[in-house]
């Protein structure tokens, strides 16, 4: 099988699955033929507005069929879409417009205007190559400003072809995109998988933990992807919030610890699969036969179903040498569909892509089975008393206390190139704990140099739009200078 572009994937889906439901919401359904027609109309409308090949289009809108039509329509017309969080403030949008220099900016209210039924739906896609950039995904990472990741056509299409095999989906499926479509997860793992396999894609504007199971039943979904704290938020809902549904598979990245996962699988009657990916490399890793019972393991590098290439992984020291098995280093990937770089950011591109390898900035190690373990971000590693501390290890020790619901650990400058360990902790409802008591608890599970010097209690942790802890915000609040 040769590498494909997104228009080629959409054209093949239209031919193979013409009358199957492609996109559904609580009150909408359209077939693959309907989807293709809408994408063609959007493409034609955008061209009439002056869109040329490789022009960028900024799209700020919540999940909806119209957003899918617009995003795919830009690609069909030969442009490059950049979907972003519609909840961004005006200064944040202005920064992205200045960075992207888009030909067109589309807000939610603009999508219905381009998605009209008066243009020719048969307008043909302009030629693209599988290794050309198809879209831009803005990601903050650990920097203070968002950076635009260029994602190749083949990164999307090969991910869509491969994802069911990675997580063990068999037969006809109805996928649920409750993650935002400005996120690589929903774009690559949900939308592209639906196109590649003729699966129905169910859309909701936002994730809501309180109505998660009711929505799952109403939409008749069979599989969903979640990230960050979403699974924990669902698990924290009252027992009566769970209702029987067709949902049987949850892909979680990162995933819960093995014992907690087993409990959640039994409680919700689902199978939870864990993995690791990023906008720069949607392939990443997925759980292996041996990794499922290992805490913090992300499995092994996932490979394309087509067999067209190999997704390689090296774990490197700072000097570029491979680390021995069991030793922590930086996770570095190499495959032909990796990002070619970051939009308008040559220095960041040069730093991330060295010698053909993507330096992820994530720290981890590999055990004797070849399974990979993630220990945290290299930039988040804390240097204290001459030792490196992985924040995740400290967070796990703190969360083992029955009164602790969540914790975020980071370093703040302490002079002489040293850092102090700070923990921000959220207690469970009814939990009662003070700083000395929790430090004593941590000292029974951690070496002395890993025990937080400061523990701050808050009602909640700040979260990113994709439900990850906003560590940069915590660093700024508690004295860490901006990156």
DSSP secondary structure, 14-32, as one string: HHHSTTSEEEEETTEEEEH
pLDDT at 232: 85
pLDDT (tens digit, 9 = 90+) per residue, 393-433? 899 889 999 999 999 999 888 765 568 899 999 998 877 89
Q: How many CB atoms lie within 10 A of CB 319?
A: 5
First CA to last CA across the chain, in angstroms?
44
Cβ burial 322-353 (10 Å sphere, 16+ → b, else e): ebeeeebbbbbbbbbbbbbbbbebeebbeebb
pLDDT at 113: 67
- Domain range annotation of the chain: 381-477
Report residue 244: phi and psi, to 5°.
Answer: -65, 140
Q: Which residue has the tokens 């869109």?
A: 51
pLDDT averaged over consecutive 10-residue blocks of the chain (483 residues)?
92 96 96 96 94 96 97 97 90 91 93 62 68 92 72 98 97 96 96 98 95 97 90 89 96 88 95 94 95 92 96 93 90 97 95 94 93 84 74 88 92 75 90 92 88 93 82 80 42
pLDDT (tens digit, 9 = 90+) per residue, 254-273? 888 888 899 999 999 999 99
Please give the angle made by the CA atoms of 132, 136 and 137, to the nearest 5 degrees: 135
Query: pTM of this prediction?
Result: 0.85
Q: Which residue has the tokens 């523990």?
A: 455
pLDDT at 414: 76
Q: What is the mean pLDDT of the chain?
A: 90
CATH architecture of 381-477: 2-Layer Sandwich (3.30)
pLDDT at 416: 57
Task: Give DSSP secondary structure letters for 214-250.
Answer: HHHHHHT-SEEEEETTHHHHHHTS-GGG----S--EE
How far is 122 from 217, CA to CA, in rounded Å? 36
pLDDT at 417: 55
């Amino acid at each position: 099988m040769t590498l494909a572009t997104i228009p080629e994937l959409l054209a093949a889906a239209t031919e193979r699955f013409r009358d199957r439901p492609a996109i559904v919401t609580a009150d909408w359904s359209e077939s693959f033929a309907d989807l293709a027609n809408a994408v063609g109309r959007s493409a034609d409308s955008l061209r009439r507005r002056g869109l040329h090949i490789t022009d960028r289009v900024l799209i700020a809108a919540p999940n909806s069929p119209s957003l899918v039509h617009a995003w795919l329509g830009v690609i069909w017309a030969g442009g490059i879409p950049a979907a972003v969080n519609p909840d961004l403030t005006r200064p944040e949008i202005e920064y992205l417009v200045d960075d992207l220099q888009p030909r067109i900016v589309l807000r939610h209210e603009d999508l219905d205007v381009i998605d009209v039924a008066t243009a020719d739906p048969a307008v043909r896609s302009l030629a693209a190559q599988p290794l050309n950039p198809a879209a831009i995904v803005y990601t903050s990472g650990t920097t203070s400003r968002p950076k635009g990741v260029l994602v190749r056509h083949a990164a999307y299409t090969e991910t869509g072809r491969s994802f069911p095999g990675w997580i063990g989906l068999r037969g006809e499926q109805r996928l649920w995109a409750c993650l935002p479509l400005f996120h690589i997860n929903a774009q690559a793992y949900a939308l592209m998988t639906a196109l590649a396999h003729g699966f129905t894609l169910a859309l909701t504007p936002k994730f809501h933990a309180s109505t998660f199971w009711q929505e799952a039943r109403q939409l008749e979904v069979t599989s969903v992807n979640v990230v960050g704290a979403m699974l924990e938020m669902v698990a924290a809902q009252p027992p009566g919030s769970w209702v029987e549904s067709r949902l049987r598979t949850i892909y979680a990245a990162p995933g819960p610890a093995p014992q907690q996962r087993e409990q959640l699988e039994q409680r919700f009657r689902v199978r939870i699969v864990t993995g690791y990916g990023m906008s720069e490399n949607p392939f990443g890793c997925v759980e292996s036969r041996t990794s499922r019972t290992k805490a913090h393991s992300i499995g092994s590098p996932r490979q394309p179903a087509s067999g067209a290439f190999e997704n390689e992984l090296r774990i490197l020291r700072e000097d570029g040498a491979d680390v021995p098995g069991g030793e922590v280093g930086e996770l570095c990937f190499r495959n032909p569909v990796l990002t070619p770089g970051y939009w308008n950011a040559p220095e960041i591109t040069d730093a991330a892509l060295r010698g053909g390898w993507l330096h992820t900035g994530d720290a981890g190690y590999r055990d004797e089975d070849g399974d990979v373990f993630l220990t945290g971000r290299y930039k988040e590693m804390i240097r204290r008393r001459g030792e490196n501390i992985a924040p995740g290890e400290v967070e796990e020790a703190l969360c083992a206390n029955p009164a602790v619901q969540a914790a975020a650990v980071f370093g703040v400058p302490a002079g002489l190139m040293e850092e102090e360990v700070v923990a921000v902790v959220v207690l469970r409802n009814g939990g009662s704990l003070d700083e000395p008591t929790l430090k004593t608890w941590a000292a029974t599970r951690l070496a002395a140099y890993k025990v937080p010097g400061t523990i701050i209690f808050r009602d909640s942790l700040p979260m990113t739009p994709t439900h990850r802890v906003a560590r940069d915000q915590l660093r700024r609040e508690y004295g860490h200078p901006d990156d």
